[in-house]
Amino acid sequence: MDKRNRAKAVLERLRQVFPAPESALSWADAWELLVATVLAAQCTDARVNMVTPELFRRWPDPLALSQADVAEVEAVVRSTGFFRTKAKNLVVAAGMVVHEFGGELPRTMAELTKLPGVARKTANIVLSNAMGVFEGIAVDTHVKRLSFRLGLTDSDNPIRIEKDLMPLFPREAWGEINHLLVLHGRGACKARKPNCPECVLKDICPKHGV
């Protein structure tokens, strides 16, 4: 089975297992999703969801956060790890959204990635989930691992992996395939002990690296 047909089968089968995939992060608008995704770097979604209610209560929008004391933001996001960098980036990003983008998050990859702490993965997550804009595929640790195991890429570089995956899936499914691979990666296809015998993809997976 070639990569394109394997990718098609992966999408079809995982859709059956996860008919309504969505982010595990809690958010109400594009700005909240961006903030939550930035905080989720090297941190669990569950932990981020414990932190963001207080963060958004105190600083509910980019304008409010742009005027925040960085030390106070650090105190709120401390438990997410790398809190000094995350707090500084979020305050600076909020200021850029206010002063350069009229208070609204931009809707392009090029503009979003100008914000500190926002690389392609975060931008893809915000664009696809909050704006319905598909410029690429978010590649996190799960997508990276599963793409290699499934033989959809030979690379371990997120940018290269994204370029390898994009032609294999319909553009309108670029956001969905991220969710599907993440959910499958958290369930059957775990990093250390993948449950290959029970996997819905076991007959088409080359099991690279397993």
Catalytic positions: 121, 140
Burial class (CB in 10 A: 0-12, 13-18, 19+), 207: middle
DSSP state of 156: -
Between CA 41 and CA 83 the distance in angstroms is 10
DSSP state of 200: T
Contacts of 37 (CB under 8 A, 6+ apart): 25, 121, 122, 125, 126
Between CA 102 and CA 130 the distance in angstroms is 18
DSSP state of 108: S
Closest CA to 69 of 54, 58, 79, 61: 58
